[in-house]
Amino acid sequence: MTTFLSGIFTRSVGKKIAMGITGLFLISFLIVHCAINATIFVNDGGKVFNEAAHFMGTNIFIRIMEIVLFAGIIWHIVQALILTLDSRKANSVKYAKFDGKANSKWYSRWMGLLGTLILMFLVVHLLDFWAQARFTGLGIPPVMIDGKEYENMYGKMLEVFSVGWVVVVYILGMISLAYHLMHGFQSAFQSLGLNHKKYTPVIKLTGTLFSIFIPLIFALMPIAIYFGFLK
């Protein structure tokens, strides 16, 4: 235990392990978030979605996980910042000629930039929904479902995504997320030491599909609403 306490996450390898843990945790959050939001595609005027949003907003376990999630994002970002600054220090003199594409993917080399774009998107996104639901109120009247009153999160979605530039911001956010995950998904397994001749190709394929479909489903939400496919 004392060796454990003696700075597991302060060494280079430990920092990667922290990155891997937080990355996979954020991925697991994306799955839940995407599954719940996809209920809007039932196209029932938001009935199922509002009920799900109500559950997420009031269930004690989910509320605790919300705090863990914020902690996870902050830990992820702080570690990413440390990693990036360490690299700057270790690699202070640049080559006159560097043929990056001959040895790696551009999105693997630009994770910091992609992460920063995601962070900018997250701020906009949290202000659009989460901050209002928690603090200021949604500013639209509640709805009645089966004789019970619910916050109209669905109505809020329709309102937010009726504005063209907001839809564009969300699409750009999801493209950044797609490339971040295209590297990040398999990278997290590698960081945690899970590389195996048999399983790594499966992880890489899963990662690619995940990186395409999850952001695509998310992006289709504002698109479908903006173009009036969902009422």
Interface segment toward another protein; rule CB under 8 A; list 33-41, 58-66, 68-76, 104-112 = 104-112
**Exactly one of 55, 98, 213, 227 binds another protein (CB under 8 A); which one?**
98
Q: Which two tokens stand for residue 142?
A: 């509640």
Q: What are the backbone dihedrals phi and psi of residue 63, each rounded to the nearest 5 degrees, phi first? A: -65, -35
Task: Give the whole-angstrom CA distance, residue 42 versus residue 46.
Answer: 8
Query: Which residues form the interface with ligand HEM (CB under 6 A)?
Result: 16, 19-20, 23, 26-27, 30, 76-77, 80, 83, 111-112, 115-116, 118-119, 180, 184-185, 187-188, 191
Does position 28 interact with another protein (CB under 8 A)? The reply is no
Q: What character string, x for contact with another protein (CB under 8 A) and - otherwise, covers 162-201?
A: ---------------------x--xx-xxxxxxxxx--x-
Q: Diameter of the chain by CA atoms?
A: 70
Q: Which two tokens stand for residue 31?
A: 């799955």
Report DSSP letters for 97-130, one per residue: S--GGGTS-HHHHTHHHHHHHHHHHHHHHIIIII
Task: Give the whole-angstrom CA distance, residue 116 versus residue 112.
Answer: 6
In the complex, minimum distance from the CB of residue 29 to another protein, in angstroms, rounded to a whole number: 21
Work out what residue 116 binds among ligand HEM, another protein, none; the CB cut-off runs from 5 to 8 Å by kind: ligand HEM
Helices (H) and strands (E) in the chain, counts: 10, 2
**Exactly one of 60, 61, 67, 91 binds another protein (CB under 8 A); which one?**
91
Size of the site for another protein (CB under 8 A): 45
DSSP 132: I
Residues in contact with another protein by CB under 8 A are 3-4, 8, 11-17, 83, 86-87, 89-100, 102-105, 108-109, 111, 183, 186-187, 189-197, 200
